[in-house]
Amino acid sequence: MVAAELNSIASADPFKLGFYLISMWYKRTEAQKRFALFFTSTQLAGAFGGLLATAIGKMNSKRGYHAWRWIFILEGILTCVIALAAYFVVPDFPEHSAWLSEDELALIEARQATERDTTASDTLTTFPSILLVLKDPKVLLGGLMYFALIVPAYGFAYFAPTVIQTYHYTPVETQLHSVPPYVAAFFFALLVATLSDAAAHRFLFALLPTLLALAGTATLFSVHHDTHTEYAALFLVAMGTYTAMPMVICWVAMNLRGHMQRSVGIAWMIGFGNCGGIVATFAFLSRDAPEYRTGYAVLLGFLSLAAVTQAGYAGLVWAGERQRWSSVEKTRDGGRDDKSRWTALL
């Protein structure tokens, strides 16, 4: 139990820090593709990780170790090697990256000039400053958006193998048939992210995949004797959920200004959101098998909540920008000064 807790603590930060670091290198109209690639790669790795675990399972009793020990040994060694390489390969923030030439740094700073609000000071992160960030209703709503999507994401990981297993596949065949929905979600998320960056818009590109996942879950809730339809519905759930999740993370993160606000906002959003996994754990109970109506109903509720909170966040952003530009118009020359160059992305 202690080892499991230590593993959870060690794996909690890299995910949040990855998004935080990416957000500091790219413009907001370029960031979604990077966020989607980073996020969906972890989901794809998890899908193929099951196949890897199945293969490693055949090493049972090798050198006197049970198969589950080999899983931790081999995957742990790979993790340590990659972590060591990352220390030398993963770049720091642009302004702290010694490997950048002066011209390259100047180019990055010029590209980021309109991406950062000059009124947002990068103060040290203190407890009062954390509370100040968390008082922003948009930050709180961002955490709720992600929480509402985490529940169906974790739920999918739990119920997908169960649904596929009802097709009377062997354990290995079940693992194999669990991979295609993740692969489809990977490419769909990248496609939607590319379109979102091109349109410089987030709301509809988060809402439509959420509705897609809602349609897939509704199908699973109502259809129980058509394996082809059920399997197709799994694709809809995976494609919708795993596309909307990096969309809302990028949307909220890139609308936060400065290092301090962005670091606190991302930590809150993902930290609070991941608590949704607790709900998903108790949504699909063995007593509800094989239809799992209660579990699907829970997922339908949280996907609906995700759609509502996305609309609410878009409304807050729109209202804030409207108020912001109204104040800009009242400036002495009626033009845009340095304080108005930064604009939240809807």
The three-point CA angle 199-252-339 to 5° equals 80
pLDDT at 119: 44
The phi, psi pair for 189, rounded to 5°, reads -65, -40
Measured in whole angstroms, the distance separating CA 109 from the mean position of its chain's CA atoms is 27
pLDDT at 121: 46
pLDDT at 200: 92
Sequential pLDDT tens for the chain (346 residues): 555 555 555 555 678 888 998 988 888 889 999 999 999 988 888 777 767 777 777 777 777 788 778 888 888 898 899 889 988 888 878 877 778 888 888 888 887 776 665 444 456 778 888 899 999 999 999 999 999 999 999 999 888 887 788 777 877 788 788 889 999 999 999 999 999 999 999 999 999 999 999 999 999 999 988 888 999 999 999 999 999 999 999 999 999 988 889 999 999 999 999 999 999 888 888 888 788 899 999 999 999 999 999 999 999 999 988 887 776 565 545 554 444 455 677 8
pLDDT at 338: 45
Taking the C-alpha atoms of residue 87 and residue 70, their distance in angstroms, rounded to an integer, is 26
pLDDT at 190: 97
Shortest CA distance to 240 belongs to which of 206, 202, 212, 217? 212
pLDDT tens digit string along 238-283?
Answer: 999 999 999 999 999 999 988 889 999 999 999 999 999 999 888 8
- For 172-189, b where at least 16 C-beta lie within 10 A, e where not — what string? eebbebbeebbbbbbebb
User: Are the C-beta atoms of 289 and 224 separated by less than 8 Å?
Assistant: no
**Token pair of 111, please?**
């590209």
Neighbours of 280 (CB within 10 A): 22
**Which distant-in-sequence residues (6+ apart) come within 8 Å of 174 by Cβ?**
161, 164, 165
Helical residues (DSSP H) of 24-170, grouped into ranges: 28-56, 67-89, 102-112, 127-134, 137-165
**Which distant-in-sequence residues (6+ apart) come within 8 Å of 18 by Cβ?**
38
- For 70-90, b where at least 16 C-beta lie within 10 A, e where not — what string? bbeeeeeeeeeeeeeeeeeee
pLDDT at 235: 96
**Token pair of 63, please?**
């050198």
**Which distant-in-sequence residues (6+ apart) come within 8 Å of 134 by Cβ?**
140, 264, 268
